[in-house]
Amino acid sequence: MQWQRFRHLLLISLVADATLDGATLTSRHREDPMIRRGWLEQGLRWYDAPACAEVRDPLEVGPHGLPPMLVQVGDQELLLSDATRLADRDATCEVPCRLEVHAARWHVFHLQSFYLQSAVAVGTAAEQVRSVSS
C-alpha cells in the first residue's frame, strides 16, 4: 500500500473536506483571525487535483492502512470540523488517531510559539516525530 512508507502522520490545521462543507467554516468565521473561507477556496483552486485522481478529498479516502496520526487544531479555527470529522472517521475504522483540540487557538496557531499553549503543541508534535524516527 502507498502509505506503508510513512510511519506516522502529523496533521496541523488540515483541510479534510475539499467541498468546504464543515460546520465551523460558518460558525467560527469571526473567531479565526488567521484564515478566511475565500483564501481556502483560492488555495483549493490552485491545488486542483488532476481530474484523473481517484479522490480529491481526504475524507473520501478509505483510512484502512493509514499509519497512526496526530491531528492538532484550535477550537477557534475555521477548519475545526474538518479535523474532528477526520478523527471520528479514523476512530470508526480503527485507525490510531490522536486529536488535540487546543482551547482559544486559531488556524496554524503553532506559528505563535511564543505563547505557552502554542509552544506546548509544538513540543508535543516534536515528541511524536522523535518517537517514530528513533
Q: What is the pLDDT of residues 48-70, one digit of tens each?
A: 777 666 666 777 777 777 888 99
For the chain, the structural domain boundaries read: 2-133
- Tell me how far apart the terminal alpha carbons of the chain are, to the nearest angstrom: 23
For residue 38, what pLDDT band results from cuts at 50, 70 and 90? very high
pTM beyond 0.85, yes or no: yes
Residues 103-130 have pLDDT tens digits of 999 999 999 989 888 999 999 999 988 8
- Could you say which architecture CATH assigns to the domain 2-133? 3-Layer(aba) Sandwich (3.40)
- C-alpha–C-alpha distance, residues 124 and 64, integer Å: 25
Average pLDDT over residues 58-83: 89
User: Cβ distance 128 to 32 under 8 Å?
Assistant: no
Mean pLDDT of all residues in the chain? Answer: 88
pLDDT cut 90: percent of the chain above it:
57
